[in-house]
Amino acid sequence: MKHGQTKKKRKTKKKNNKSKKTLIIVIVSILLAICLFLGGGFVTWKFFIKQEDNSKAHSQVSTDSVGTNEKIAIRTEAGQDPVYINAIPGMARNPYDDNNFYTNKNGFIEYKHDGKNISTVGIDVSYAQGDIDWAKVKKAGVDFAMIRCGGRGYGTKGILYTDEKFKQNIEGATSAGIKVGVYFYSQAITAKEAKEEADYTLKLIKDYNIQYPVAYDWEHYENEEARTDELDRETLTNCAKAYCSEIEKSGYTPVIYANRSLLYYEYDLAKINNYEVWLASYEDLPDYYYEFGMWQYSTDGTINGIEGTVDLNVCMYKY
């Protein structure tokens, strides 16, 4: 009997040990699941906060968000009533006071906030400006230059190319003490092509000190048929996202260059809201409803050191 009782006790003990191990495994599994859930939530929260922070990281003027049922008045021809479109709730509103834009002593537009100038003077250049005397450009009062690094052809094949003056321009501007950013002239018709353009851009700029943004410049080619003629809104938006995402992942600041027509009617702005905007608008004041960081206000500026005309810009963000 003693041996039999001992055997029973041993079996019971083994069962108890097995139950304890099973319970421990279950508890550990539950704890791991909770940690993964909370960790994933934290990562997701951090991602969205990061996206929001990134979109405001360079702003120097506080803004508020667009409310519901707001309308944007689109100017038409003189004497005609404006056309209204729906504003996008939650988008950051244009924060600038029109009265605070002014022309400085060198003839460039700048912006003041709380009585102090917070802007920088810029130009954007490509092969079209020829050989530039960057020392003279610096002396004329230019703080930064957006330099075209390359582009994609209009034709069916859409061949990538490097701007023939890119190396000369970026090295000349940098040597003269002018801060630089770059832009890529896109004719992408798929997100895959836009990513390819971003990779091409990154290879071109990897050896240079890029302090200003890397811009996605997608435009319609007006003079003849182009591969982008039938591009729909969703695809265009996805192209911009694909390019900017690759640029951002490599540690640069991506921006989207566009005029009001592209921004209002052709991009899905709600889906690219976390990327900064470089606005092209050639009126006395930047009549755009949403927030932007740079404003290209002229395509026919003149500056000592550049033969012919050049695009002029003012930047209200701090890079």
Distances (CA, A) of 169 to 68, 129, 179, 244, 247: 46, 10, 12, 23, 21
* Token digits of residue 129: 């400006």
Straight-line distance from the first to the last Cα atom of the chain, in angstroms, rounded to the nearest whole number: 88
**Nearest to residue 65, comparing CAs of 289, 266, 319?**
289
What are the domain boundaries of the chain? 1-56, 97-315
Strand locations in 18-82, DSSP E? 71-74
CATH pick for 97-315 out of 3.20.20.80, 3.40.50.300, 3.30.565.10, 3.40.50.970 = 3.20.20.80
* Token digits of residue 196: 């390819």
Tens of pLDDT along the chain (319 residues) come to 333 444 444 444 444 555 555 555 556 556 655 544 554 443 333 333 344 445 568 999 999 999 999 999 997 777 788 899 999 999 999 999 999 999 999 999 999 999 999 999 999 999 999 999 999 999 999 999 999 999 999 988 999 999 999 999 999 999 999 999 999 999 999 999 999 999 999 999 999 999 999 999 999 887 778 899 989 999 999 999 999 999 999 999 999 999 999 999 999 999 999 999 999 999 999 999 999 999 999 999 999 999 999 999 999 999 9
Residue type at 251? G
Give me the helix-helix angle, 191-205 and 233-249, nearest 10°. 30
DSSP 71: E
Q: Label the pairing between strands 276-280 and 254-259.
A: parallel
